[in-house]
């Protein structure tokens, strides 16, 4: 009986070696990059946008100042490196996102991909994935906001899930 179990195990191994035991029958399919001319409503997004606000629904204390001072104003509590976030949206549908590139002493992180805007829904293609954000623009289209749920760790290592509203303001063109 023992020999029969070993024989079956050996046959399974041999079968995998010669026939293959892959469970990956489908190749990974990435979404297509956005291409083509911009629609009229998309032109307002072309340019550089800098992070100017982060407001949480829940008060959180991020400042390591030995004072219990939670606040919903996450941006005010962030270091200069975290505040330094910049979206650049090109008329060729290419975008980049950089954090820490303009403040000194920061670890720079960046990503890029393609973008589209439809009915104030921003779609980004990045790293073989499509992301979507519902944007709200101010009347002059010089500021947009979106809300996302984040898990934020406070100074006491307590993690809080909260809705955070991100505000980006358009930088004036230097051209």
- Give the residue carrying structure tokens 């779609």: 123
Of 31-40, 66-75, 86-95, the poorest mean pLDDT is in: 66-75
User: Which DSSP category does 38 fall into?
Assistant: P
The per-residue pLDDT for 67 is 80
Q: What structural domains does the chain harbor?
A: 40-170 (2.40.128.280)
Mean residue pLDDT of the chain comes to 86
The per-residue pLDDT for 64 is 80
Strands (E) located in the chain: 47-60, 71-73, 85-89, 94-99, 109-118, 121-126, 129-134, 136-137, 143-153, 159-170
Q: Please state the rounded mean pLDDT for residues 144-163.
A: 95
Phi then psi for residue 140, to 5 deg, are -90, 5
CA-nearest of 78, 80, 88 to 49 is 88
Torsion of CA 7, 13, 14, 17, to 10 degrees: 180
Phi then psi for residue 117, to 5 deg, are -130, 125
The per-residue pLDDT for 20 is 46
Given a cut of 90, whether residue 24 has pLDDT beyond it is no
The per-residue pLDDT for 173 is 76
Q: Please state the rounded mean pLDDT for residues 79-100.
A: 95
The per-residue pLDDT for 175 is 56
Spatial contact of 99 and 82, defined as CB atoms under 8 Å apart: yes
- Give the residue carrying structure tokens 């001319």: 37
Give the global pTM. Answer: 0.80
């Amino acid at each position: 009986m023992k020999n029969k179990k070993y024989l079956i195990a050996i046959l399974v191994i041999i079968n995998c070696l010669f026939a293959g035991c892959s469970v990956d029958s489908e190749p990974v399919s990435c979404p297509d990059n956005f291409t083509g001319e911009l629609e009229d409503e998309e032109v307002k997004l072309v340019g550089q946008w800098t992070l100017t606000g982060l407001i949480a629904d829940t008060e959180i204390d991020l400042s390591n100042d030995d004072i219990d001072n939670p606040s919903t104003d996450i941006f005010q509590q962030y270091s200069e490196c975290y505040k330094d976030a910049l979206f650049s949206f090109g008329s060729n549908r290419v975008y980049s996102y950089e954090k820490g590139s303009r403040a000194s002493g920061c670890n720079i992180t960046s990503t890029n991909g393609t973008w589209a805007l439809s009915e104030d829904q921003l779609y980004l293609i990045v790293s073989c994935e499509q992301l979507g954000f519902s944007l709200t623009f101010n009347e002059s289209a010089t500021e947009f906001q979106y809300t996302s749920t984040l898990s934020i760790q406070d100074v006491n290592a307590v993690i809080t899930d909260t809705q955070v509203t991100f505000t980006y303001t358009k930088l004036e063109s230097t051209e």
